[in-house]
Chains A and B, each alone.
Chain A
Amino acid sequence: MSNKVVPSIYRAVIDDVIASIRPAFEEFGVADDVLHELQSKWESKVIASRVADFEPPQPAAPHHPYPTLPNANYGISYVPPSPAQSRVKNEPPNTGVDARYALATAQYALPPLPGPSFPGLSANTLPFPASLYRLPQTDGPAGSEDDDDDDDDDLEPAPMPRTAHPSLPQPAARGNPKAGAEDADADAEAINSDLDDSDTENEEENEEAQPESDIVFCTYERVARVKNKWKCVLKDGMIHTGGKDYLFQRCTGEFEW
């Protein structure tokens, strides 16, 4: 099965990159332990993404599914990280986070959050928490203008973590609902305009967010169409769907438009 092969392929890629890039590190005068750090960071991120069932580094690990690691109390059930990997997890959230990896970052960012409001974190679908994460942001500004201020205080903390991650996809029309609401207040039609705004905003976000959740990277050998019937031959693909990765050498696609 193509998901079973993922760990060995990914390990082979990581090992090959690390081995092949060593001369460049020497050339740049970068110490070898930085290269090891890169490797351990990379491996731990791949494992934490849970795109496949990676074998834990220690064979004893499966017998202790709940090790007394500092982050074990978050209720996250990914593969127990090795000591080298838990070191990585204590580091601050990095920049350049893809939506799929917002989950991983969200884990690190959990302590400052007001409450344990991510019950879906351990779900198989990685992008799900990312979309959860996004919701308070889009609703917040719109609601904060025309609702009473008490609700504001409740909503206030939710957008905060997001601003701490400038690299995350920010809602494009973030300032617009506010402006729209102010205009609408003058017109006493706040509800309608706000609904319109948030509707279009959500649609745009779904358009942007969903392709990231289920995606295939591949090459094509042949794409043909007869009327509305499409046939294509795809090669060397990486499928990411339902939080899992699958690989194929060749994929025959048949679609109806």
Chain B
Amino acid sequence: MASAYYEFYRGSSIGMALTDSLDELITSGAITPQLAMKVLQQFDKSLADTMVKQVKAKTTLKGHLKTYRLCDDVWTFIVQQASFKMEQNEVILTPRIKIIACKNGDAIEAGKK
């Protein structure tokens, strides 16, 4: 069911750190691109599972919606003057943030089980 996991988390900080590391190992000839792909697929799965199991934080986001877009079940929002209100009243402000949201569908949920 590895294909049931989203790949777009690879663009996150930890995902980019992994792809950079894999690139280095491919360049030095230590691993093949095929093995690197397997690692990335494992990352998709491990990240999604770990997030579901271990991340409990809830937050609210307010801001001015500058741009919205729905394409192939992927929402993209660009929010200006965004404020994330975390737990314990921690507030994070940013003048501009892009949100990429894939569908949280039953197929994905089934794949996580």
Most buried by A among B24, B34, B48, B94: B24
1/0 per residue B28-55: CB within 8 Å of A?
A: 0011101100110011011111111011
Nearest CB to that of A210 among chain B residues? B96
Decide: B64 and A13 in contact? CB cutoff 8 A: no
Decide: B57 and A248 in contact? CB cutoff 8 A: yes
Whole-angstrom distance between the alpha carbons of A116 and B63 in the complex? 38
Whole-angstrom distance between the alpha carbons of A235 and B27 in the complex? 36
Residue from B30, B50, B92, B102 in contact with A30 in the complex, judged by beta carbons closer than 8 Å: B30
Contacts of B4 in A (CB 8 A): none
Q: For chain A, what secondary structure do more than half of its interface residues adopt (helix, strand, loop), or is it mixed?
A: mixed
Decide: A219 and B104 in contact? CB cutoff 8 A: yes
Decide: A251 and B61 in contact? CB cutoff 8 A: yes
Nearest CB to that of B13 among chain A residues? A51
1/0 per residue B51-76: CB within 8 Å of A?
A: 11011111111111100101000010
Nearest CB to that of B101 among chain A residues? A220
Nearest CB to that of A206 among chain B residues? B96
Decide: A253 and B60 in contact? CB cutoff 8 A: yes
Decide: B98 and A216 in contact? CB cutoff 8 A: yes
Decide: A241 and B92 in contact? CB cutoff 8 A: yes
Contacts of A94 in B (CB 8 A): 20, 23-24, 27
Nearest CB to that of B70 among chain A residues? A223
Whole-angstrom distance between the alpha carbons of A255 and B90 in the complex? 19
Decide: B59 and A248 in contact? CB cutoff 8 A: yes
Decide: B24 and A218 in contact? CB cutoff 8 A: no
Decide: A12 and B50 in contact? CB cutoff 8 A: yes
Nearest CB to that of A233 among chain B residues? B104
With known contacts A38-B21, A42-B18, A219-B6, A242–B92 Cβ distance under 8 A: yes
Contacts of B57 in A (CB 8 A): 1-2, 5, 246-249
In the assembled complex, A211 has its CB within 8 A of some CB on chain B: yes
Decide: A246 and B92 in contact? CB cutoff 8 A: yes
Residue from B11, B14, B58, B98 in contact with A250 in the complex, judged by beta carbons closer than 8 Å: B58
With known contacts A97-B20, A214-B94, A248-B55, A13–B65 Cβ distance under 8 A: no
A247 to chain B, nearest CB (A): 5
With known contacts A2-B86, A28-B34, A253-B61, A20–B104 Cβ distance under 8 A: no
Residues of A at under 8 Å CB distance from B?
Answer: 1-2, 5, 8-10, 12-14, 16-17, 20-21, 24-25, 28, 30, 34, 37-38, 41-42, 45-46, 49, 51, 91, 94-98, 100-101, 210-211, 214-221, 223, 230, 232, 234-236, 238-242, 245-257
Q: Can you list 22 A-B contacts with CB-CB less than 8 angstroms, sorted by A residue number?
A: A2-B87, A9-B54, A12-B50, A21-B42, A28-B31, A28-B34, A30-B31, A49-B17, A51-B13, A98-B16, A101-B16, A219-B6, A220-B104, A235-B104, A236-B51, A236-B55, A238-B9, A246-B84, A249-B57, A250-B59, A254-B61, A256-B64
